[in-house]
């Protein structure tokens, strides 16, 4: 019997966590499948506690709730691993909804291919708002950075994302889990998993519904932090740099340079404007084809531009910011967590 520990760090999101737990109650696992699971909710120093929400599910799920001081998502996931009993650990963000067939699908893939580590993509749920669907498009489309982030059609080596990621206990013992980075800690771990000799594989069928941000302002901040995180990854793992990582920054510079170009070289500025309008049209058309919704298609244009602008500016800031020499990750430089 294979046991999975589902580890969910949460910070000030009790109601979103409720939806996630409801989706775990609805998991379709027949008695013939030799697997079981437990759920560990790690409250990372929240001001708005999720303890009551967890208590309301105590009779529906094998659920364990832990509260700890705030240290960030990576150390919180490691904290959950230390408390877990499973043979495999699966990580979800608290703003995810898990399809009923998820655990059955993932278990089948793990057993069939003897996976050491794995991950899946994210998708937009029909209940999401129009804005959330447009932001989801920006985060998953090949016309933005979806081709970088690791889906079925991705650029470069697959790197799992922590909103839908898992690995065995053996992988944890060899890598010591997540590092202390606040952003891109999942990419850092994916790289170290492969460097340690384990197999990391995408399972396209094991997707989750990911809500994303609820406003363009919050989305810009998130994209900006992702860009800075990618810059940190490049500094920690120089061999992982790909020229495609520069695309958001180059696009941002291209966009910003158009305005002064009207006074310097109007012909070139007009060409830039035409390129921008063509790109916007491609985004609009592709989003409508994907979402079957005119308004989502329309909002996908600013969503992609905000995503690229935030990511690009964050990457430039991270690359050119002063950063002291960092030690290679080891279990000794993880922060000590008080329980």
Q: What is the pLDDT of residues 41-83, one digit of tens each?
A: 999 999 999 999 999 999 999 999 999 999 999 999 999 999 9
CA distance between the termini of the chain: 30
Rounded distance between C-alpha atoms, residue 150 and residue 155, angstroms = 7
Scan for tokens 């939806």, then name that residue: 19
Give, as one character, the DSSP assignment of residue 99. Answer: -
**From first to last of its 339 residues, what are the pLDDT tens digits of the chain?**
899 999 999 999 999 999 999 999 999 987 778 899 999 999 999 999 999 999 999 999 999 999 999 999 999 999 999 999 999 999 999 999 999 999 999 999 999 999 999 999 999 888 899 999 999 999 989 888 765 454 554 446 789 999 999 999 999 999 999 998 888 999 999 999 999 999 999 999 999 999 877 799 999 999 999 999 999 999 999 988 888 889 999 999 999 999 999 999 999 999 999 999 999 999 999 999 999 999 999 999 999 999 999 999 999 999 998 655 444 444 444 333 333
With vertex at residue 2, the alpha carbon angle to CA 191 and CA 158, rounded to the nearest 5 degrees, is 20
Instruction: List residues bridging with 6 in a β-sheet.
Output: 39, 90
Q: Give 255's contacts (C-beta < 8 A, 6+ positions apart).
A: 276, 305, 309
Domains of the chain with CATH codes:
2-129+147-214 (3.90.550.10)
* Cβ contact 85:107 at 8 Å: no
HSE (side-chain half, CA atoms, 13 Å) at 186: 24
Cβ(219)–Cβ(303) below 8 Å: yes
pLDDT of amino acid 323: 57
């Amino acid at each position: 019997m294979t046991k999975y520990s589902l580890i969910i760090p949460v910070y000030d999101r009790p109601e979103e966590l409720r939806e996630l737990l409801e989706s775990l109650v609805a998991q379709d696992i027949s008695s013939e499948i030799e697997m079981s699971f437990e759920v560990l909710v790690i409250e990372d120093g929240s001001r708005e506690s999720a303890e009551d929400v967890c208590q309301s599910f105590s009779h529906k799920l094998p659920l364990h709730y832990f509260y700890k001081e705030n240290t960030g998502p990576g150390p919180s996931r490691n904290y959950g691993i230390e408390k877990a009993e499973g043979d495999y650990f699966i990580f979800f963000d608290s703003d995810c909804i898990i399809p009923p067939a998820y655990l059955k699908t993932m278990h089948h893939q793990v057993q069939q291919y003897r996976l050491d580590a794995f991950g899946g993509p994210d998708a937009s749920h029909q209940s999401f708002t129009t804005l959330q669907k447009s932001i989801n498009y920006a985060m998953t489309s090949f016309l933005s950075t979806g081709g970088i982030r690791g889906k079925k059609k991705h650029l470069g080596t697959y790197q799992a994302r922590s909103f839908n990621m898992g690995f065995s206990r053996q992988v944890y013992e060899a890598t010591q889990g997540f590092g202390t980075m606040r952003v891109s800690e999942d990419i850092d771990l994916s790289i170290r998993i492969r460097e340690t000799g384990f197999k990391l594989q995408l399972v396209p069928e094991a997707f989750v519904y990911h809500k994303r941000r609820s406003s363009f302002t919050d989305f810009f901040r998130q994209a900006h932090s992702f860009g800075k995180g990618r810059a940190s990854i490049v500094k920690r793992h120089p061999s992982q740099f790909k020229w495609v990582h520069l695309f958001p920054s180059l696009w941002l510079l291209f966009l910003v340079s158009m305005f002064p170009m009207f006074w310097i070289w109007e012909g070139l500025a007009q060409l830039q404007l035409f390129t921008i309008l063509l790109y916007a049209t491609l985004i609009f058309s592709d989003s409508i084809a994907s979402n079957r919704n005119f308004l989502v298609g329309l909002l996908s244009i600013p969503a992609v531009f905000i995503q690229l602008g935030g990511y690009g500016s964050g990457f430039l800031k991270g690359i050119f910011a002063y950063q002291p020499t960092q030690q290679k990750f080891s279990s000794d430089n993880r922060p000590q967590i008080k329980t």
